[in-house]
């Protein structure tokens, strides 16, 4: 993973790096590997994640088809 530091702005580079790591799921994996997870707990977690993904996909599909209202949008404040 590579982050370009512009104008010696390390704060911005750190924000970009953290965002990339978050997207890749590195923080979640680090947290999961801190302690041993029993195989039964692992299966239960994976099943719950699959259910969550399926529900989210069904909700998105229903929104696209117009069966459910879309997410509420935050009003943009002009700069």
Comparing CA positions, the residue from 39, 36, 59 lying closest to residue 47 is 39
Output the CA–CA distances (angstroms, integers) from residue 68 to 17, 33, 44, 59, in the order listed: 36, 38, 29, 8
Please tell me the pTM assigned to this model: 0.61
pLDDT of residue 62: 94
The pLDDT tens digits along the chain (79 residues) read 899 999 999 999 999 999 999 999 999 999 999 999 999 999 999 999 999 999 999 999 999 998 888 878 888 887 6
pLDDT of residue 79: 64
């Amino acid at each position: 993973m590579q982050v370009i530091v512009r104008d010696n702005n390390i704060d911005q580079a750190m924000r970009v790096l953290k965002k990339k790591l978050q997207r890749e799921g590195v923080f979640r994996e680090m947290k999961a590997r801190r302690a041993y997870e029993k195989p039964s707990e692992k299966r239960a977690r994976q099943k719950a994640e699959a259910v969550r993904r399926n529900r989210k996909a069904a909700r998105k599909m229903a929104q696209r088809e117009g069966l459910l209202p879309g997410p509420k949008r935050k009003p943009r404040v002009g700069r």
